[in-house]
Amino acid sequence: MRKKNTVLILGIASIVILITVQAYLILNIWKQKSDSFGIRYTTRSNEAYNYIRRNLETDGFDTVRILLNEYSEKAYNDLQTAGNAEEYDAKKKYVLDYFTKLVNTEQDLSSLLSSYFEGRKMESKFNYKIVFNNLELIGKDTIVVYRSEAFASRRPPGTGDRGRRMAPTGNTGSEILVNWFWLEGNYYRLNLDYFIDYSDKQQLILKETSASLGLSTFSILLVGLMFMVTFKNLREEQRLSNLKTDFINNMTHELKTPLSTITVAGKTLEMPFIRQSDEKILETAKLIGKQSVHLNQLINMILEISMWERTQFQLDKKSVDIEEFMNDVVDSFKSGGGNGATISQKYNFNGAKIDLDVVYFTTLLNNLLSNAVKYSDKVPVIEIEGALQEDNIFISISDNGIGINKLDQKHVFDKFYRATTGNIHKFKGLGLGLYYVRKIAEAHGGNVAVSSRPGKGSTFSITIPKC
Ligand code: ADP
């Protein structure tokens, strides 16, 4: 039990560690891929932009420049007419919104980049984002319409406003900075950053990491499976070891009974008054003989079992009339005692002859019949039925005994298995009878099954091919 728990704890701990390590590795791989994606796609975007600059001789903002120039003079004059600070601020906001709308709707850079990527069969699905850093209207004075904090801190203190071309901040999150722009006209100066964001980025990285992800998942599943198999084997091993211990206890008990009877009988024979009566001597000798035979049977059974383990069953089959054979076995069982059981037989064999090993098959039937008597808490009533079913012989033996619960039904044919009630010595046994039954049925190419209701009785059914 302690061994099982240790394996369980160690197994679970190692799986948890494995999952943690794998998750950590995957996360790192993801991060690396994401970084390298950023670098790769920044290079591509810059290449694309440079190509457009060089070969198409545009930066994608030509139309924007013209329109802004026209509008900014009007905007500057309009700002001059503001009556108070509130109106002035409202007008500035309007100007900023108008600039933003104009730049976004009239820029051609996005479509130029798209066609560049498409032309080179590169990932071309992206969203763009234009971020204003600084917007100034220039007339007699310079009006700062908008200036981002980042831009303000980028400008060295004490320097003038004109001509400062400070480097942009760089990529932000998943967005890639393609370039930063100074757009200037007679009445305005605008600084903006142009970003693109690949909408399929996650899928692209997933595709790239899928091999490592798949392998990790597979290794975790494999380890989990191995753990489950090992644990199942361990449980089975423990169950068998428990069964063996039960068997040894039961066997010792079974062997001790005839042995102690023989010992007592021997002592009895030593008594002078017993020796004076021939009748008593004969009675005791018969008892010794009977118990010796029983002892011998037990030992033979154990020897036979170990022989079966080592060698394959050797059947000595011959053709028998199955109905006659059944009648003979049942008759000799009845004459051997049968414990007052009422046995009824109903056969429908149509005179069929089948090939079987008479000795082994008799053992099979006797084991079932004696169990039907043994596991009974009332006067045993046994019904035997038999019929020919296509190419098979079907035999069932039903009793009105204590029955077998569902869990035990699964194991009763296992070696050494005794149902829970069987282990308390009310019903003696070694847990081998039904094991024999199954082995013999299988050796004849057939099988055996049980159906039972605890408290009502059990039915054992055997199916054997005719030949
Ligand atoms: P044994 O009788 O020596 O215990 P068996 O292999 O013949 O071993 O039977 C295995 C177990 O199946 C028994 O311990 C008993 O609990 C249960 N069993 C077998 N036959 C019957 C039956 N006819 N009715 C109820 N229980 C049965």
| Domains observed in the chain | 2-205 (no CATH), 317-465 (3.30.565.10)
| Ligand 1 centroid – CA 18 distance (Å) | 46
Average pLDDT for 215-230: 88
Predicted structure pTM score:
0.55
Centre of ligand 1 from the C-alpha of residue 93, in Å: 94
Digit-coded pLDDT (tens) for 419-455? 876 455 567 777 888 998 999 999 999 999 999 999 9
Instruction: Tell which atom from ligand 1 comes closest to the C-alpha of 431.
Output: 8
The alpha carbon of 375 and the centre of ligand 1 are apart by a number of angstroms equal to 7
Backbone torsion region of residue 425, taken as left when φ is above 0, otherwise alpha when ψ lies between -120 and 50, otherwise beta: alpha
CA distance 141 to 108: 31
> From the CA of 429, how far away is ligand 1's center (Å)?
8
Which of 16-25, 220-229, 291-300, 379-388 is the most confident on average?
379-388
Exposure pattern of 167-193 as b/e (b: 16+ CB <10 Å)?
ebeeeeeebbbbbbbebbbebbbbbbb
Q: What pLDDT was estimated at residue 330?
A: 93
Q: Whose CA is nearest to atom 8 of ligand 1?
A: 431
Residue 419 alpha carbon to ligand 1 centre in Å = 7
Residue pLDDT, tens place only, 335-372: 876 667 899 999 999 888 999 999 889 989 999 999 99
CA distances from 90 to 79, 189, 190 (A): 10, 20, 19
Query: What distance in angstroms lies between residue 201's CA and the mean position of ligand 1's atoms?
Result: 68
Q: Which two tokens stand for residue 59?
A: 């930066």
Q: Report yes or no: 440 and 460 within 8 Å, Cβ to Cβ.
A: no
Q: Whose CA is nearest to atom 25 of ligand 1?
A: 403
Span 40-63, average pLDDT = 91
The mean pLDDT value of the chain amounts to 86
Q: Which atom of ligand 1 is nearest to the CA of 420?
A: 16
What ligand 1 atom has the least distance to the C-alpha of 413? 6
Model pLDDT for residues 98-115, shown as the tens digit of each residue? 999 999 999 999 999 999
**For 165-209, how does the pLDDT look when each residue is reduced to its tens digit (9 = 90+)?**
444 445 545 688 888 899 999 999 999 999 988 877 778 888 888
Q: Which of 364, 412, 424 to mutate to test the pocket of ligand 1 (most atoms within 8 A of CB)?
A: 412
Reported as type and span, the H/E element at residue 82 is none
Tens digits of per-residue pLDDT, 72-92?
999 999 998 888 989 999 999
Cα(286) to centroid(ligand 1), Å: 29
- Spatial distance between the Cα atoms of 291 and 262, rounded to a whole number of angstroms: 7
Asked whether 258 and 292 are in contact (CB, 8 A), the reply is yes
Which protein residue's CA is at the shortest distance from atom 23 of ligand 1?
372
| pLDDT winner (highest mean) among 3-17, 316-330, 334-348 | 316-330
Mean pLDDT of 18-35: 87
Residues in contact with 356: Cβ distance below 8 Å, sequence separation at least 6, in sequence order:
315, 317, 318, 320, 325, 444, 464
Best probe residue, ligand 1, of 416, 418, 427, 430 (max atoms within 8 Å of C-beta): 418
DSSP one-letter string for 287-355:
HHHHHHHHHHHHHHHHHHHHHHHHS-----EEEEEHHHHHHHHHHHHHHT-GGG-EEEEEEE-TT-EEE
Pocket-forming residues, ligand 1, beta carbon under 6 Å: 367, 371-372, 375, 399, 401-404, 412, 417-419, 421-422, 429-435, 458
Beta strands (DSSP E) in 166-281 are 176-184, 188-198
CA of 418 to the centre of ligand 1 (A): 6
Lowest mean pLDDT among 37-41, 293-297, 457-461: 37-41
